[in-house]
Every structure is written in structure tokens, then in C-alpha cells.
């Protein structure tokens, strides 16, 4: 059986993950959403059955509530990274996993804000957003129902290119009884995250050599970030 990256312990449906963050600069906070083409809240047997078949694509979205980047105010703006990798994301049997990415930057942003949003996304996405093959400018909106990620309901739209819609996980989503947070979120610089059910997960753009629509999977995360010392230059 292949060994994949998994959580250190089983999580309940209301489980959460906490991450420490400390960076030089001014503060920035907001919400995060992610959806993959493989389950992230699942049992080991299901995950191993998907490895190298599914889970090579993902959509990552950040909405800035307050703060700025590189000295540029970003209140209310959002940015999305869409990625495709050679191997299943999180498969530790393949430590080298080349990624290509498309960035979708909020078209409401000014030129300086667009540059700052791109820099912010690359910082939060790390190696996954190193090779950006295309940047598109479209309206981006991330809405968390009632402003609380614990409700599990959220919606991301990135123009006509990408979309995620989630709901809370429930008892009907239990398939084997050994479910856990098998994969951590792809944006590690979060202070809190929890798994959710993706009723919509789609990408219709070009640049990655593939489009997809993978609805109704246990494949999403909702999270928050709060970098109290974000880079200023």
C-alpha cells in the first residue's frame, strides 16, 4: 500500500487545523477556500485507491478582508490560483511534483493592487505557484455564509473560469467510518482550516492543458489567515 501524507490523528466533522504564522511587515487577514479533484476528508483505503489517478488539480482562493501587501491596500479584493501537478497532491512517494498554475486576479484591483495580489498569492501558495503560465483578470468573489467557516457553506466565483461551492460535511458523507483529514490544506500559511463538501469544483480556462468539473466530493477546505507581520516590500 502506498503511503500518503495524512493527518496526525483522526478528525471529527467539526475538526480544525491550526497553523502558526509570523512574518515581517504589516497585518493582513481574510478567508481561504480550496477544492481538489480528490477527497481530502477520507479514509486511507479510499485515498490510496485514488493516488496517481485523481487529485492532480486544485483551486485555491484568498479573500482579503483587511490589510495590504508590499505597502498596497487590498481590503475586499481576492485572488485565485488554479494548479495542475504531475502527481497526486500530497503523495509523499513522489517528493518532486512539478506544478503549473494559472492566476485569476480580481479585475476590480488597480495596477499596483494586481501586482500585490499576485505577490501575495505566490507567497501563500509557495512552490505550487512558482510556475505561473497565465494571469487572467476577472471579477473574483468569495462569500462565506454568515461569515463563519464553521458553517461549511461558501461560494467562490472567478469570472467564467473557476468556481467552488461548499456545504458542511455530515453523517451521510461517511463511507467507511475511518474518515480523517487525510491531506492538509495546500496553503499552509493559515491560522485555521476545516474540511468541507464541494458541491461544485470546476475550471473552464486554458493554460493547464485540462479543464474539469468534479462536483459532490469531500474535497474542499475553508480557512482563515491572519498574518500579523506581512511583507511590506
Tracing cell 500518503 back to the chain, one arrives at 4
CA 17/CA 191 separation, integer angstroms: 8
Q: How far apart are CA 85 and CA 56, in angstroms?
A: 5
The pLDDT tens digits for 93-130 are: 898 999 999 999 999 999 999 999 999 999 999 999 99
Residues 53-81 as b or e (16 or more Cβ within 10 Å = b): ebbbbbbbbbbbbebbbbebbbeebbbbb
Say what the pLDDT of residue 35 is: 98
d(CA 133, CA 149): 31
Q: Within 10 Å of residue 96's Cβ, how many Cβ atoms?
A: 6
Which of these, 77, 89, 66, lies nearest to 185 by C-alpha position? 89
Residues of the chain predicted below pLDDT 50 = 1-25
Whole-number pLDDT of residue 24: 40
Residue 79, phi then psi, degrees to nearest 5: -150, 150
Backbone angles phi and psi of 45, in degrees to 5: -65, -40
Residue 86 DSSP code: S
pTM: 0.89
Please say whether the beta carbons of 35 and 154 come within 8 A: no
Provide the pLDDT for residue 114: 98
Amino acid at each position: 500500500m502506498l503511503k500518503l501524507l495524512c493527518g496526525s490523528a483522526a478528525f471529527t466533522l467539526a475538526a480544525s487545523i491550526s497553523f502558526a504564522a509570523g512574518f515581517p511587515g504589516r497585518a493582513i487577514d481574510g478567508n481561504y477556500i480550496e477544492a481538489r479533484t480528490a477527497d481530502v476528508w477520507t479514509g486511507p483505503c479510499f485515498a490510496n485507491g485514488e493516488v496517481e489517478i485523481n487529485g492532480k488539480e486544485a483551486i485555491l482562493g484568498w479573500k482579503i478582508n483587511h490589510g495590504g501587501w508590499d505597502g498596497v491596500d487590498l481590503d475586499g479584493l481576492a485572488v485565485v490560483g488554479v494548479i495542475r501537478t504531475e502527481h497526486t497532491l500530497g503523495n509523499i512517494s513522489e517528493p518532486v511534483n512539478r506544478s503549473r498554475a494559472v492566476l485569476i486576479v480580481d479585475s476590480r484591483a488597480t495596477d499596483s493592487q494586481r501586482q500585490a495580489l499576485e505577490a501575495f498569492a505566490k507567497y501563500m501558495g509557495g512552490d505550487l505557484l512558482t510556475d505561473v503560465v497565465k494571469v487572467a483578470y476577472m471579477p473574483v468573489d468569495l462569500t462565506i455564509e454568515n461569515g463563519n467557516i464553521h458553517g461549511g457553506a461558501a461560494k467562490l466565483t472567478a469570472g467564467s473560469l473557476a468556481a467552488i461551492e461548499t456545504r458542511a460535511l455530515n453523517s451521510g458523507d461517511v463511507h467507511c467510518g475511518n474518515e480523517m483529514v487525510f491531506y492538509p490544506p495546500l496553503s499552509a500559511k493559515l491560522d485555521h482550516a476545516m474540511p468541507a463538501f464541494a458541491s461544485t469544483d470546476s475550471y473552464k480556462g486554458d493554460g493547464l492543458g485540462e479543464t474539469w468539473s468534479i462536483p459532490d466530493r469531500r474535497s474542499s477546505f475553508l480557512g482563515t489567515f491572519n498574518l500579523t507581520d506581512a511583507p511590506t516590500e
